[in-house]
């Protein structure tokens, strides 16, 4: 029975199955990725699809929306078998998939993107006024204050996500599939998105919502289907499942310990001192110390200047002032090469765009940052192979075929490879930006333990993350940034969500850094 | 329940094996095909003289194309190589002719001409590279500009006419193009040496690996502590050096330079690179493919010369067709791998 606190499934709607997949199987070449999966999407219901990376979630939704054809099994729309030859046919039936990787034309404006391929015309010409008005209306609905004339390339990722949703709404979606829509959104934006999803649900839209985030599923979904290794594990009412149950069903085992045990040593020697670093328009007078074996978290809302500060420290961005000391001695870091020499490594949050060469296999990716280690005149391929062997072992990278391109890897394996790549330079300080974005819970835990291992070996870690549990679970101290300033450094019991939000929103005042024990 | 089978369209995932082999061997197979065709058309095709002719002619575009392989693999393009070759030829001729009076028509004069060629090639390449990287201008635009500049410089030097190499120097210089060692023409030997050096540099050294990385994703290269601008500039310098080597071989053959020297060579060089399987968008390059591509282009012209079936004037059309087909095949392979 459904709990009143959770959005009750109206019994009248129970029968209103809009779209079903029946015994869907899917193989790519010899690899079968889906085994007899069935799923029903009901009108006026949010159905969550939960599973680890590689569980087959994306493949299933691509089949439901016409991007892939099932190897066997069938789709039923309103009690009649259908086949979506391609995604256009699917969209014609009102089934719209919003991809995990946003598909917007960067050079075009918001309104041009919303109406791309379906431009409103007046005679032979585009009716720009009408399109702009409609685009504005859609954005207003989403409480998104983006100018319809703005170019996509100038927008923040979260705004782009909203544009994608506006685009889907404009297509009159009555079966809407969202593939990890919140991966790039901030807390406030997630709330707006959820309001929209609830509004659509009230209008009778059938929604399939894919996420790894159990909190979100509890908050928004009515029912949940769990996939594991391409197989349907269960479909249940969300109210009947606890988060732990969902995690266990998804992973197939108990996750004993999500985070490594940490015993912070606040008296260890200082390995990195950052003093009064400024970046024009982005960072103002940022100062902090990093101790040996420490995980120093950096929290803040998007645009608070965390990434800009880190890029300024490692020489990827110009500092207008400030200085950096390593082990008490001033160092000049004006490029990533300098940072590397100083033993500082940076793990980008954009593993696909700036982390890995997706069209290459693992070996060149692994050694790219530390290439000089593998020979100055000629590259020693045997040494590279050996390094790869070690890395696969140490970071538990699970690739069926070593020769396959890393672009085909799951997000988790890509992230592990990226971590291995950065560790090839044997840095003392690792700056990690969003270590687990778009990664399933099992792999997340593994990565957390890798980070724990690093600090146990005397390395220091700076962690940038927008995921609160990760920030709280891993960091020994948490620096909070707002408006380009470090507004507080939290320690001990001061490290809680409330304090972080207080500093991140600037409520704590602007009198410089305050330390909370 | 009956299963839906009417829209079966299983996406093939590359399971290694055949398609990859075909991709690597494609240009070689095509070249073998051309040789079979040539032999079928005319017995004279396989004669030593004719083969030597094909390879000697191929050497010229081939050497330039080896340089272009570096530029293109690193995600760049150099449209100026034809004009650059004309300009370097013109400058060499002017300087060597001028030196005859002081040094006489000897080996020293030729050597100085060769040194000048190398300096000009490296310098011109460095200009292309530095302007596009430091000035942050698309290589296409920069080299389109320098293409016009080098072309008009040679026209200016020749005063609109033709620069001819001093007759006595021609005699001294002649063996560079027409000579042979153990029966193998010197241009072919040089071509082979350049190709081997190019192969080693591109495939076995950190520099080559960095070219691949930059062409594949410049942002990733930058985040991997690679001096992106430096490596890219170096690829243009290598291109310039290759142009200069090709020019050194070419000057004794024609003994002159004019505004029409080297017209469209840039496109032939790029065509050889692309036929050889290097990706035009960068990130993947193959020197041996380029070598085969250059030989193929020359072979097509040679076969058309040996047959009456197609007019020799259609040489360009056949070459053009082959380029398009080669790229089409490449892209098909690429897409299959990507789809998943």
The model's pLDDT over A178-229, given as tens digits with 9 standing for 90+, comes to 988 887 777 777 888 888 888 888 888 899 999 877 888 889 999 999 998 8
Question: Is the CB of B225 less than 8 angstroms away from the CB of A372?
Answer: no
Whether A368 and chain B come into contact, CB under 8 Å, resolves to yes
Question: Is the CB of B212 less than 8 angstroms away from the CB of A401?
Answer: no
Question: Is the CB of A357 less than 8 angstroms away from the CB of B15?
Answer: no
Mean pLDDT for B144-152 is 95
In 3-state terms, what secondary structure has residue B214?
A: helix
What residues in B contact A22, CB-CB < 8 Å?
A: 1
Across the strands, what pairs with A225?
Answer: A49, A235
Please, what is the Cα angle at A54 between A48 and A57, to 5 degrees?
25
In 3-state terms, what secondary structure has residue A347?
A: strand
Q: Which of A166-170, B9-13, B47-51 has the lowest mean pLDDT?
A: B9-13
Mean pLDDT rounded to a whole number for chain B = 86
pLDDT band at residue B174, thresholds of 50, 70 and 90? Answer: confident
Half-sphere exposure of residue A324, counting CA atoms within 13 Å on the CB side? 23
What residues in A contact B16, CB-CB < 8 Å?
A: 401, 403
pLDDT attached to residue A256: 65
pLDDT in tens, A437-472: 878 778 888 899 999 999 999 999 999 988 888 888
| Residues 109-168 of chain A whose Cβ lies under 8 A from any Cβ of chain B | none
Half-sphere exposure of residue A28, counting CA atoms within 13 Å on the CB side? 16
* Residue-range domains of chain B with CATH: 47-296 (1.10.3470)
d(Cα A282, Cα A485) in Å, to the nearest integer?
9
What residues in A contact B207, CB-CB < 8 Å?
A: none
Q: Considering CB atoms only, which of A75, A83, A377 is closest to B205?
A: A377
Question: Is the CB of B216 less than 8 angstroms away from the CB of A316?
Answer: no
Chain B residue whose CA is closest to A359:
B216
What residues in B contact A31, CB-CB < 8 Å?
A: 13
Across the strands, what pairs with A32?
Answer: A27
Whether residue B12 has pLDDT greater than 70: no
Mean pLDDT for A360-368 is 92
Handedness of CA A68, A73, A79, A81 (dihedral sign): positive
* Residue-range domains of chain A with CATH: 11-251 (3.40.50.300), 270-516 (3.40.50.300)
DSSP A262-287: ----TTSPEEEEEEEEEETTTEEEEE
pLDDT in tens, A300-310: 877 788 989 99
pLDDT band at residue A479, thresholds of 50, 70 and 90? Answer: very high
Question: Is the CB of A359 less than 8 angstroms away from the CB of B4?
Answer: no
Q: Hey, what are A365's tokens?
A: 């990716």
pLDDT band at residue A512, thresholds of 50, 70 and 90? Answer: very low
Whether residue B340 has pLDDT greater than 60: no
pLDDT band at residue B7, thresholds of 50, 70 and 90? Answer: very low
pLDDT in tens, B279-334: 888 888 999 999 999 999 899 888 888 877 778 788 888 888 887 887 777 665 54
Q: Considering only residues A4 and B143, tell me which one the structure prediction assigns the higher pLDDT.
A: B143
Whether B209 and chain A come into contact, CB under 8 Å, resolves to yes
Residue B47 CB neighbour total at 10 angstroms: 11
pLDDT band at residue B8, thresholds of 50, 70 and 90? Answer: very low
Across the strands, what pairs with A77?
Answer: A19, A80
Whether residue A366 has pLDDT greater than 70: yes
**Among residues A476, A407, A471, A395, which one has the least CA distance to residue A436?**
A471
**Is the CB of residue A211 less than 8 Å from the CB of residue A217?**
yes
**Is the CB of residue A185 less than 8 Å from the CB of residue A193?**
yes
Q: Considering only residues B4 and A420, tell me which one the structure prediction assigns the higher pLDDT.
A: A420
Across the strands, what pairs with A39?
Answer: A21
Q: Hey, what are B101's tokens?
A: 């009076």
Whether B205 and chain A come into contact, CB under 8 Å, resolves to yes
d(Cα B160, Cα B292) in Å, to the nearest integer?
36
Whether B224 and chain A come into contact, CB under 8 Å, resolves to yes
Q: Considering CB atoms only, which of A23, A83, A354 is closest to B7?
A: A83
Mean pLDDT for A496-501 is 82
pLDDT attached to residue B330: 66
pLDDT band at residue A507, thresholds of 50, 70 and 90? Answer: low
d(Cα B297, Cα B42) in Å, to the nearest integer?
18
Whether residue A46 has pLDDT greater than 80: yes
Instruction: Kindly report the backbone phi and psi dihedral angles of residue B181, in degrees, each rounded to the nearest multiple of 5, phi listed first.
Output: -125, 125
Chain A residue whose CA is closest to B215:
A357
Site from B224, B227, B279 to mutate, A interface, most A CB atoms within 10 angstroms: B224
Chain B residue whose CA is closest to A58:
B340
């Amino acid at each position: 029975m459904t709990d009143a606190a959770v959005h009750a499934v109206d019994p009248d709607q129970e029968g209103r199955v809009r779209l079903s997949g029946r015994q869907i199987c899917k193989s790519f070449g010899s690899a079968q990725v889906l085994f007899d999966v069935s799923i029903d999407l009901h009108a006026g219901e949010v159905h969550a699809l939960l599973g680890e990376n590689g569980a087959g979630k994306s493949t299933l939704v691509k089949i439901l929306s016409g991007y892939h054809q099932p190897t066997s099994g069938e789709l039923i729309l309103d009690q009649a078998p259908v086949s979506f030859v391609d995604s256009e046919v699917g969209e014609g039936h009102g089934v719209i998939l919003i991809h995990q990787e946003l598909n917007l034309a960067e050079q075009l404006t918001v309104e041009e993107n919303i109406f791309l391929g379906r431009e409103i015309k007046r005679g032979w010409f585009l009716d720009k006024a009408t399109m702009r008005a409609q685009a504005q209306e859609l954005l207003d609905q989403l409480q998104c204050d983006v100018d319809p004339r703005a170019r996509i390339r100038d927008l923040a990722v979260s705004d782009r996500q909203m544009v994608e949703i506006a685009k889907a709404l404009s297509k009159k979606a009555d079966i809407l599939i969202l593939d990890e829509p919140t991966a790039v959104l901030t807390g406030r934006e997630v709330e707006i998105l959820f309001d929209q999803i609830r509004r659509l649900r009230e209008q009778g839209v059938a929604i399939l919502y894919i996420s790894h985030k159990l909190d979100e599923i509890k908050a928004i979904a009515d029912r949940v289907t769990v996939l594991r290794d391409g197989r349907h594990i269960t479909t249940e009412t969300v109210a009947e499942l606890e988060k732990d149950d969902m995690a266990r069903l998804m992973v197939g085992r108990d996750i004993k310990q999500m985070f490594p045990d940490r015993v912070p040593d606040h008296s260890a020697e200082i390995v990195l001192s950052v003093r009064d670093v400024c970046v024009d328009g982005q960072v103002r007078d940022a100062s902090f110390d990093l101790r040996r074996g420490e995980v120093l978290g950096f929290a803040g809302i998007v645009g608070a200047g965390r990434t800009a500060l880190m890029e300024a420290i490692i020489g990827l961005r110009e500092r207008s002032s400030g200085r950096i000391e390593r082990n008490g001695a001033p160092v000049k870091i004006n490029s990533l090469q300098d940072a590397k020499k100083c033993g500082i490594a940076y793990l980008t949050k954009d593993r696909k765009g700036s982390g890995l060469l997706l069209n290459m296999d693992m070996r060149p990716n692994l050694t790219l940052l530390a290439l000089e280690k593998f020979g100055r005149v000629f590259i020693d391929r045997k040494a590279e192979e050996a390094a790869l062997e070690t890395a696969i072992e140490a970071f538990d990278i699970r690739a069926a075929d070593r020769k396959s391109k890393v672009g085909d890897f799951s997000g988790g394996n890509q992230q592990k490879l990226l971590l291995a790549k950065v560790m090839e330079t044997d840095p003392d300080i690792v700056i990690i930006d969003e270590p687990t974005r778009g990664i399933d819970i099992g792999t997340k835990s593994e990565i957390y333990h890798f980070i724990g291992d690093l600090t146990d070996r005397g390395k220091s870690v700076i962690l940038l993350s927008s995921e609160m549990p990760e920030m709280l679970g891993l960091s020994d101290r948490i620096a909070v940034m707002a408006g380009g300033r470090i507004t507080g450094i939290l320690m001990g019991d001061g490290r809680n969500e409330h304090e972080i939000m207080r500093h991140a929103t600037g409520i704590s005042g602007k009198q410089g850094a305050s330390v909370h024990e | 329940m009956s299963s839906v089978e009417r829209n079966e369209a299983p996406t093939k995932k590359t399971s290694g094996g055949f398609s990859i082999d075909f991709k690597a061997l494609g240009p070689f197979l095509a070249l073998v095909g051309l040789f079979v065709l040539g032999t079928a058309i005319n017995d004279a095709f396989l004669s030593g003289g004719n083969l030597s002719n094909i390879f000697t002619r191929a050497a010229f575009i081939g050497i330039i194309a080896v340089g272009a392989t570096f530029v293109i693999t690193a995600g760049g393009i150099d449209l100026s190589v034809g004009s650059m070759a004309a300009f370097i030829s013109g400058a060499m001729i002017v300087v060597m002719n001028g030196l005859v009076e002081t040094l006489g028509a000897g080996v020293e004069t030729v050597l100085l001409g060769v040194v000048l060629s190398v300096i000009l090639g490296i310098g011109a390449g460095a200009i292309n590279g530095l302007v596009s990287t430091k000035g942050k201008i698309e290589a296409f635009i920069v080299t389109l500009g320098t293409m016009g500049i080098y072309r008009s410089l040679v026209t200016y030097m020749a005063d609109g006419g033709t620069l001819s190499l001093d007759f006595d120097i021609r005699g001294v210089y002649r063996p560079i193009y027409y000579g042979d060692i153990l029966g193998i023409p010197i241009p072919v030997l040089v071509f082979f040496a350049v190709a081997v050096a190019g192969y080693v540099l591109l495939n076995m050294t950190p520099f080559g690996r960095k070219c691949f990385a930059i062409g594949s994703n410049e942002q990733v290269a930058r985040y991997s502590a690679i001096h992106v601008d430096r490596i890219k500039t170096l690829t243009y310098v290598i291109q310039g050096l290759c142009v200069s080597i090709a020019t050194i071989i070419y000057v004794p053959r024609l003994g002159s330079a004019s505004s029409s020297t080297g017209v469209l060579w840039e496109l032939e060089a790029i065509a050889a690179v692309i036929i050889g399987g290097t990706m035009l968008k960068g990130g993947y390059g193959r020197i041996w493919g380029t070598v085969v591509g250059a030989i193929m282009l020359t072979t097509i012209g040679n076969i058309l010369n040996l047959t009456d079936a197609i007019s020799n004037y259609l040489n360009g059309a056949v070459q053009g067709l082959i380029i398009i087909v080669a790229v089409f095949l490449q892209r098909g392979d690429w897409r299959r791998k990507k789809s998943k």
